[in-house]
Every structure is written in C-alpha cells, then in structure tokens.
A and B are shown apart, each in its own frame.
Chain A
C-alpha cells in the first residue's frame, strides 16, 4: 500500500515552476547587510588562509572597512528616500530601520576600535587559544601570545544580524536575525584573556538563558501564526485589527514574543543575566553589547509593537508600563549597592532600558523619535565609559572594584575628568547628551499622558545619580591608596574611540538638533 501511495504522490502534478518565483529583492536597500555578511565570510576565510602575522591587520581593516561601506550605503539609501518592504515582505527598509542600522554601524565602528586595541595589554583583550584549560601550564604559556583573530568575523556577523533584526518585517526573519546576532555574542563573551573562568561562566549563563528566551520567542511566533495564519507583521496587524481571531492565541503569543524581546533589552524581570554577563565578558564586548545590542533589541521591539499590535485593538500598554517602572526602579536601586564598576554600569544599563521603554510607551511619533535619539546618545556614552574601564589596570588586568578607583583623580586627572563627564551624562546633567535624550523621551511620554512613567523616571534618575556621583567623589576626594592602579596610556584605537564617544556626548548635549531632526524624520514604519 505504501508503494501505491508513493507512486500516486509521484504522479501528482508538482507545483509548476512558474508558480514559484523569487520575489523581487531591492538589492540596494539590503546592500548594507549583504556587505557585512560578505565581510564576515571573507574574514572567516582570512582566518584560515592569511599568514599569522598579517591576520590581525587584515581582519581589523576588513571589519572597519565593511562597516564604513555599509554606513555609506545606508546614507545612500536614506538619501534616495525609499521606504520599501522587500524580499517578499520579509525585510522593511524604512525610516526607523535605516536610522537604527546607521546607529548600529557607527556604534559598531567605535566598538571595533575598542575590540582591536592591543597596546594596553600584550595581544589584546582576547585569549589566544580559548580551548586551553584556564590555569593550566599551556594557558600560562599563552599569556603573551596575540589574541584570537576569529573575534573580528564574529563581530561582523553579530553586527550584520543586528542590522537585520531592526529591519525584519516578518516574525520568522526576526527570529533568525535574533539568533544570528546572539550566537556570536555568546561566543565572544567567553573569550576574555584575564579571569577566564569568570568569562566562560558568563558565556554559558548568557547562552543558556538566551536559548531559553529564544524558545519563548519561537513559541510565541508559533502561537501568533496560529492566530493570524501568517508571520508577516503587516498581515498580523490586519488580523489583530479584524479582531475575529482566537484571542487566547493572540494574548499568549504576544506575551511570549514580548518575553523574548524584553530579555534582549534586559528589562526587569528578564534582566538577571545582565550584571554577570557584563562583568565576565571582555570589556570591549561588554561595550558592544551595551551599545549595539540595545539599539537592535529596541529597534525590533519598537517595530513589532507599533506595526503588528496597534494599541486600539490589543492594549498591551499596562503590562509594559509595569515592566518599564520595575525596570527603572530595580536598575536604579541595585546600581546603588554595587561595588564593581562593570556591574554598576550593567545595572545602569538596565535602568536606561526603562527610560527607552518610556519613550516607546509614548506611542507617538515624538516617542519613537525620542527612543531612537536616546539609543544613539546612550550608545556613545556607554562605549566611552567602558573604554575608560579598560584603561584602569594593575598587574592582574583591569581593576574593576570601586575601592581601587579611589584617588584616581589625583593620579591621572585627564582620564578621571573624562570619566566624570561621562558619569554626568549618565546622570542626565544639562549640556550632556544624557540630558537631551532623557528630555526627549520624558517630554514625549508626558505629551501622551504617561505621567506615572515620567514621575518614576525622574525619581529613579535622581536615585541613579547617586552611584555615578559616588564614583566621581571617590576619584577626587579620596586619598590614593598604595595599590591604586595605574591608568594605562590609551593606544591610538582606544584614544580614538574615547574621543569619538566624548565628542558625541558633548555635541549631542550642546547641539542635538541635527540628530533629533533626523530621528524625527525617521519615525514612519512601513509594513
């Protein structure tokens, strides 16, 4: 009987070749991503075929070159003013997508500058051979060897995945993009040269929890597909607005999708991985995650919630408002109790996720523009802040415990001054980008009547100013101890990254208008 069935199914007329046609693909619109994916593949080949002594230079120039080309292409596409959903509607290249892709590219260049630094420590921040058991004799022998250059293709893959994540217009594409940018990050977290066990623990923790959240995300996608019969965000919107579907599937699916996205933005209660991972990961990678991953995750969150789930049809606001409030408060309060500078910055990044959520919850053009601006401004500050963290070192590597920073202001006034400026930007003092960005999201939220959110936001900002200022006080008013670490002279790359970060922070604080205008113009989603 089985053979009979087989014969019959072979005799069935197959789908005609003419029915299956490759959808139109706007190659210029997706060229930035293609360039980065291509550069990553070339980087993998380079890791295999380029002689050892040239690899570092080839890889670094490849990544930075590809990012700059991608940035140029993004500007070209944006100038042409196109807003299209291409590749069968799977990718939407519109205002927010282009703005966020541009931000990922720019912040990515700065992060790569930090990642490529090799003068602070012999061989750079990454371990040479990650397979060696930490603490073994072979591991001690590799202390002086140059770090693994596979880091650079992995970073390219991660950045390309982030660019896809902010432009995916289809839940399945969104999921694939999520995995494409997460997997390299899991790997990169485990490649620190110093404190390797801590680094590996952070990688495993991030991987397990990330896989768990991906499963939630995927289950949500499946349920939403059951609800709408489609995975495209536009089709989903239509089904939500029609309102005649199975609402159980809709609510369950939406909740699980939100868990997956909120995990990536590190919102409370899906934030517990953040401090451990930020602390254990190599500091340049922490900077990359704090800046670029946040941009990507919020980009997708904005798109999914604005395009697919209009508030008029399904009101998810109360839940997200509660999450935003919890995120701001927990992040701010726990930041006060931290004694490690990397953990402090991690909790501050959690609180900042709450502020961006405030902008998202304004549900207005001003809110979207404010969130976009906030993400860029915060990205520059946090990159520069982690850049400073890489400079404060002693014989064991970076000295991240806060007590070790006492009296740093007397030993190296310039670095302490830079860090003070960045802390002020975090705290939202006027004339820094922190003030303008907070103002942008809070005023948008106020304009939409989200008074509670703004009150909580301002209060938690006040709480959060305390740990920042405590670091400043510690640096200037404490006596330098015998074991106060030295501040290494930054190499060219770190110096460039710091200069870009500080300049951008100052410029966005003093003259934010061009970027604000750009963000205000880039609020229209297509689907």
Chain B
C-alpha cells in the first residue's frame, strides 16, 4: 500500500524533471523515503562505531553511505549521489575491506578506558551537543524554504557542478591533488617495507650457497654420536673419523667453564 503510494507520489516528481524534487515543497514520496532511510543511515553510523569487528564496521558504513546517496539523489543532486555510490561505496570502501581482509581482521583494539568515566562523559556530551545543534537548526530552519535549486540545476546537474568547479573553485579543485599526493606518499611511508639489497635471498641463491665449496650440504651430525661421553662438549665424528667442531654449540666455550671443561671431549675410537 505504502509502496503504491510512494510510486504514485514519485510519478509526478519524476515528470517534473530535470530537477527531481521541486524546490521548496517536499513531496509525500520524498518524506516516505526520508523516514525509511534516515533511521537506516543513523543506525549504520552508530553500528559503525559500536561494532567490535572491523569488517562489520566497514559494512555498517557502507549502509550509511548508500542511504546518504539516496538522499542526495532525492534532493536533486543525482551526480553527487552517484559519485557517492561509485567512488565512496564502490571504490574506497571495497578497497578498505580488501585491506582489512589482507591485513587481518582480528579485533585487536582494547576497550580499556585510560581515563575513568571518559566514555560515559563523551556519550553524554555528544548527545547533548547533537540535541543542541538539532534543536537550534529545527527552530531556525522551520520557516525557511529552499531557494535557487531550479536555477542551479537549469542546465543539468553535472553541467552545473562542472561550471562551479572549473570557475570559482578552480584553485581549490587543483590544490586537492596536493592532498591526494600527500595521502599516497603517507601511505608509502607508513606502510611500505623496502628491503635493502642483499636481504632478499632467492631460492636459487640459497641453493647455490648450500652446495658451494666449503659448506656441508647434508645433515650435520649431532653431538654425542658414537661417543663414550655424553657431554655436549663432545664433538661428532665425520665419516672419515675426524671430529666435526661444528657439532658443538658455540655457546659451550662461552659459559664461563674452565678451559678443561670447555675443551672438546675426545671420543675414543
């Protein structure tokens, strides 16, 4: 029933294109959409902060962004609404999710309050501030009717935005690139691990080194093999009967033993 009403109410609004909403008056359809989506947007925002799991947080944020995008479209700003969905929800949030999944999504933030009662105070003050702003705006804007919407959208929404962006705000628009470069450099600086040359060893190099002259490719003999002594200072015997000094831990001579104790214990043959 409500749906039918919505569609019926939306019909004339669409007919009054190009502006999706006529300036000044709010159609029933717009009101219905608003009252359905406003709690969704608000719930998403609260859920984003309250969720323990980072992925849930991100998805809550996506919900809020979608709801906001519908609002933008509804308020005769189809371009910004679409950009919100494509760029924010589509690109940035999905990238964010990818990063979360790659880095690991364990909730690792501790919820210990370092200042006692800070959270309650913050919630109380936050709600108070929100109420203050909301009541002031409600009182202040009750009698205000929007102006200039049709004029702004006269040549088309995208064209109108382009006209403002490339004339009055051209410098701000260009300077935003500095912001993006800074963000990219910052991500590199904070997250990129550059291994110095020589630290990266390939499988091939490792294999070469293992069979190179002077190294011992096979398993190394453990201490005490064929030994008459069970001291860790007893070296293992090599196939030719010689003693392998590599089979003794390097720590042994350094333990503060007397030289007699630290000297390799010979195995009787």
Q: Quick check: A148 and B189 within 8 Å, CB to CB?
A: yes
Q: Given the interface contacts A15-B156, A131-B192, does A87 sit within 8 Å of B170 by beta carbon? A: yes
Q: Given the interface contacts A154-B185, A183-B182, A187-B189, does A173 sit within 8 Å of B155 by beta carbon? A: no
1/0 contact string of B145-172 vs chain A (CB within 8 Å): 0011000000110011011001111111
Q: Quick check: A150 and B179 within 8 Å, CB to CB?
A: no
B198 at the interface (CB under 8 A from A): no
Q: Which residue of A lies closest to B10 (CB)?
A: A1
Q: Name the A residues within 8 Å of B193 (CB-CB).
A: 129, 131-132
Q: Which residue of B lies closest to A30 (CB)?
A: B171
Q: Name the B residues within 8 Å of A23 (CB-CB).
A: 167-168, 170
A89 vs B189: C-alpha distance when bound (angstroms)? 36
1/0 contact string of A72-83 vs chain B (CB within 8 Å): 000000000000
Q: Quick check: B179 and A176 within 8 Å, CB to CB?
A: yes
Docked complex: A125-149 residues within 8 A CB-CB of B:
129-132, 148
Docked complex: A160-212 residues within 8 A CB-CB of B:
160-161, 164, 170, 172-173, 176-177, 179-180, 183-184, 186-187, 190-191
B254 at the interface (CB under 8 A from A): no
Q: Which residue of B lies closest to A191 (CB)?
A: B189
A21 vs B167: C-alpha distance when bound (angstroms)? 7
Q: Quick check: B182 and A157 within 8 Å, CB to CB?
A: yes
A132 nearest CB across to chain B (Å): 7
Q: Name the B residues within 8 Å of A30 (CB-CB).
A: 171
Among B17, B163, B182: residue with most chain A CB under 10 A: B182
B140 at the interface (CB under 8 A from A): yes
One of B37-45, B90-98, B131-139, B226-234 contacting the partner: B131-139
A53 at the interface (CB under 8 A from B): no
A434 at the interface (CB under 8 A from B): no
A153 at the interface (CB under 8 A from B): yes
B257 at the interface (CB under 8 A from A): no
A20 vs B170: C-alpha distance when bound (angstroms)? 12
Q: Which residue of B lies closest to A252 (CB)?
A: B136
The tally of residues in B whose CB lies under 8 Å from a CB in A reads: 42
1/0 contact string of A113-133 vs chain B (CB within 8 Å): 000000000000000011110
Q: Which residue of A lies closest to B146 (CB)?
A: A226
* Partner of B190 from A20, A89, A187 at Cβ < 8 Å: A187
Q: Which residue of B lies closest to A48 (CB)?
A: B188
Q: Quick check: B18 and A14 within 8 Å, CB to CB?
A: no
* Partner of B168 from A14, A89, A179 at Cβ < 8 Å: A89
1/0 contact string of B113-140 vs chain A (CB within 8 Å): 0000000000000000000010011011
A175 nearest CB across to chain B (Å): 8
Q: Name the B residues within 8 Å of A173 (CB-CB).
A: 169, 171-172, 175
Q: Given the interface contacts A40-B178, A177-B175, does A90 sit within 8 Å of B192 by beta carbon? A: no
Q: Which residue of A lies closest to B183 (CB)?
A: A183
Q: Which residue of A lies closest to B192 (CB)?
A: A131
Q: Given the interface contacts A5-B17, A22-B166, does A248 sit within 8 Å of B186 by beta carbon? A: no
B260 at the interface (CB under 8 A from A): no
Q: Given the interface contacts A1-B14, A248-B140, A252-B136, does A88 sit within 8 Å of B169 by beta carbon? A: yes
Q: Which residue of B lies closest to A171 (CB)?
A: B172
Interface of B, helix, strand, loop or mixed by DSSP: helix
Q: Quick check: A161 and B178 within 8 Å, CB to CB?
A: yes
Docked complex: B187-244 residues within 8 A CB-CB of A:
188-194
Q: Name the A residues within 8 Å of B167 (CB-CB).
A: 20-23, 88
1/0 contact string of A378-399 vs chain B (CB within 8 Å): 0000000000000000000000
Q: Quick check: A190 and B190 within 8 Å, CB to CB?
A: yes
A229 at the interface (CB under 8 A from B): yes
Q: Quick check: B181 and A44 within 8 Å, CB to CB?
A: yes
Q: Name the A residues within 8 Å of B170 (CB-CB).
A: 22-23, 25, 87-88, 90
Q: Name the B residues within 8 Å of A524 (CB-CB).
A: none
* Partner of B141 from A14, A90, A179, A248 at Cβ < 8 Å: A248
B259 at the interface (CB under 8 A from A): no
B144 at the interface (CB under 8 A from A): yes
A405 vs B109: C-alpha distance when bound (angstroms)? 38
Q: Which residue of A lies closest to B165 (CB)?
A: A20
* Partner of A9 from B17, B140, B160 at Cβ < 8 Å: B17
A77 vs B70: C-alpha distance when bound (angstroms)? 48
B176 at the interface (CB under 8 A from A): yes
1/0 contact string of A21-36 vs chain B (CB within 8 Å): 1110100001000000
Q: Quick check: A172 and B169 within 8 Å, CB to CB?
A: yes
Q: Name the A residues within 8 Å of B11 (CB-CB).
A: 1
Q: Which residue of B lies closest to A47 (CB)?
A: B185
A297 at the interface (CB under 8 A from B): no
A191 vs B189: C-alpha distance when bound (angstroms)? 9
Q: Quick check: A8 and B179 within 8 Å, CB to CB?
A: no
Q: Given the interface contacts A1-B14, A8-B17, A170-B172, does A180 sit within 8 Å of B178 by beta carbon? A: yes
Q: Given the interface contacts A160-B178, A246-B140, does A131 sit within 8 Å of B191 by beta carbon? A: yes
A15 vs B141: C-alpha distance when bound (angstroms)? 32
Q: Name the A residues within 8 Å of B194 (CB-CB).
A: 129
Q: Name the B residues within 8 Å of A88 (CB-CB).
A: 167-171
Q: Which residue of B lies closest to A190 (CB)?
A: B190
A340 nearest CB across to chain B (Å): 19
Q: Quick check: B159 and A15 within 8 Å, CB to CB?
A: yes
A12 at the interface (CB under 8 A from B): yes
1/0 contact string of B1-39 vs chain A (CB within 8 Å): 000000000010010011000000000000000000000
A88 vs B163: C-alpha distance when bound (angstroms)? 12
Q: Which residue of A lies closest to B162 (CB)?
A: A20
Q: Quick check: A183 and B179 within 8 Å, CB to CB?
A: yes
A40 vs B141: C-alpha distance when bound (angstroms)? 45
Q: Which residue of B lies closest to A250 (CB)?
A: B140
State the A residues within 8 Å of B (CB): 1-2, 5, 8-9, 12-15, 19-23, 25, 30, 37, 40-41, 44, 47, 87-91, 129-132, 148, 150, 153-154, 157, 160-161, 164, 170, 172-173, 176-177, 179-180, 183-184, 186-187, 190-191, 229, 246-249, 252
Query: Mind listing 6 A-B residue pairs with CB under 8 Å?
Result: A1-B14, A20-B163, A23-B167, A40-B181, A157-B178, A187-B190
List 10 additional contacts besides A131-B190, A172-B172, A179-B179; criterion CB under 8 Å. Answer: A13-B155, A14-B156, A23-B167, A131-B192, A131-B193, A150-B185, A154-B186, A173-B175, A176-B175, A252-B140
